[in-house]
Amino acid sequence: MTNELDIFVGNTTLIDEDVYRLWLDGYSVNDAVALRVRSGILEQTGATAAVLQSDTMDHYRTFHMLERLLHAPPKLLHQLIFQIPPSRQALLIERYYAFDEAFVREVLGKKLSKGTKKDLDDISTKTGITLKSCRRQFDNFKRVFKVVEEMRGSLVDNIQQHFLLSDRLARDYAAIVFFANNRFETGKKKLQYLSFGDFAFCAELMIQNWTLGAVDSQVDDMDVDLDKEFLQDLKELKVLVADKDLLDLHKSLVCTALRGKLGVFSEMEANFKNLSRGLVNVAAKLTHNKDVRDLFVDLVEKFVEPCRSDHWPLNDVRLFLNQYSASVHSLDGFRHQALWDRYMGTLRGCLLRLYHD
């Protein structure tokens, strides 16, 4: 006796959160049944394995049917086929678009192309996330990217509007889209210590201050592309390290202000010129796409690592960066104060976030 056909359809679509999680995680029906058995559900409910199998199949079928709608969440809200309470709809969408930290770190900043998709096998092996789940997450990134890529208006708002995600998740997706578009390198070994959150934080600051949208809210791609003009202008900052007088003056201003307040004052004093050169050169190089991609590598190499090797406490880093940025306003010969603030304001935030073990 075999079940040829076995379905259950409720007027209100039944959603089992645990099974949904298993489905999202890419487990096959049999694996999911095994995992559910292990969770002790049979003992709790007195059900048999056959019942569990049938139940799991049924949910998987429902999810499979819902998946098409989840690709365009507003459709899920307007469709008439599945009657799902709004709270459940929100849960379905939010969970579907949620992603694994391990996975996002692998693809962050990579081009969301077929090439990358081919690497998903390796990522799956490396992270232990099922290939199916990797595919779903990758396709989500790509789908969101494609939809909002060339759209006018705030990136986060666009994502929220078209995918009905929570504010937090929409911000995360904004970071993913921003990174994918600018192809920032995040995979280098020395960047491994950084979490997705670190990058997402930086992305948000950069979107707010360095993109076209930061100056004009009516342009296409405003939040996705960096403000080219701004990047060109950053070359002007070079004078801060090229002009020896200016550099010395800057250093003395910072040292005077921080004397006695910094635990690592002597190290700072000794390293000032190196650090300043590093930070200003990063800015000057941003005209080239290749160097934009290496932004985070450069920041870690030129600033985070030197400070870390001298064991700067985070608070000292904060004091230094504040003073370093502010002192420039007292340099009479320097005319690009606004530019400096736009650059350094964001960079300071990023560096503080990036500075940890």
If one asks whether residue 65 binds other proteins (CB under 8 A), the answer comes out as: yes
If one asks whether residue 131 binds other proteins (CB under 8 A), the answer comes out as: no
If one asks whether residue 169 binds other proteins (CB under 8 A), the answer comes out as: yes
User: Is-contact 268 262, C-beta < 8 A?
Assistant: yes
* Close Cβ partners of 321 (under 8 Å, ≥ 6 residues apart): 348, 351, 352
Q: How far apart are alpha carbons 271 and 163 in whole angstroms?
A: 48
| Residues 134 to 163 in contact with other proteins, rule: CB under 8 A | 160
The burial of 16, by beta-carbon neighbours within 10 Å (0-12 exposed, 13-18 middle, 19 or more buried), is given as middle
Q: Is 284 helix (H, G, I), strand (E, B) or coil?
A: helix
If one asks whether residue 89 binds other proteins (CB under 8 A), the answer comes out as: yes
Give the residue with the Cβ less far from other proteins, 62 or 124: 62
Q: Which of 138, 145, 201, 210 binds other proteins (CB under 8 A)?
A: 201
Q: Which of 28, 54, 130, 281 binds other proteins (CB under 8 A)?
A: 54
User: Is-contact 302 281, C-beta < 8 A?
Assistant: yes
If one asks whether residue 29 binds other proteins (CB under 8 A), the answer comes out as: no
What is the smallest separation between the CB atom of 13 and other proteins, expressed in angstroms?
8
Longest dimension (CA), the chain: 91
Amino acid in the structure at residue 338:
A
What is the smallest separation between the CB atom of 126 and other proteins, expressed in angstroms?
13
Q: Which of 78, 118, 189, 244 binds other proteins (CB under 8 A)?
A: 78
If one asks whether residue 270 binds other proteins (CB under 8 A), the answer comes out as: no
Q: How far apart are alpha carbons 290 and 303 in whole angstroms?
A: 19
Give the residue with the Cβ less far from other proteins, 175 or 284: 175
Cα 48 to Cα 33, 42, 330: the distances in Å are 11, 6, 77
Residue 127 tokens, joined: 């992270």
If one asks whether residue 322 binds other proteins (CB under 8 A), the answer comes out as: no
If one asks whether residue 14 binds other proteins (CB under 8 A), the answer comes out as: yes
If one asks whether residue 80 binds other proteins (CB under 8 A), the answer comes out as: yes
What is the smallest separation between the CB atom of 64 and other proteins, expressed in angstroms?
7
Of 325, 322, 332, nearest to 249 (Cα)?
Answer: 332
CA dihedral over 179, 182, 188, 193, signed as positive or negative:
negative
Cα 126 to Cα 100, 103, 197, 245: the distances in Å are 13, 9, 20, 52
Q: Which of 68, 75, 152, 311 binds other proteins (CB under 8 A)?
A: 75
Q: Which of 38, 40, 43, 86 binds other proteins (CB under 8 A)?
A: 86
If one asks whether residue 67 binds other proteins (CB under 8 A), the answer comes out as: no
What is the smallest separation between the CB atom of 160 and other proteins, expressed in angstroms?
6
Amino acid in the structure at residue 349:
G
What is the smallest separation between the CB atom of 295 and other proteins, expressed in angstroms?
20
Residues that bind other proteins in the complex, under the rule CB under 8 A: 1-14, 17, 21, 45-48, 50-52, 54-55, 57-58, 61-62, 64-65, 74-75, 77-83, 85-87, 89-91, 93-95, 97-102, 104, 160, 164-169, 172, 195-197, 200-201
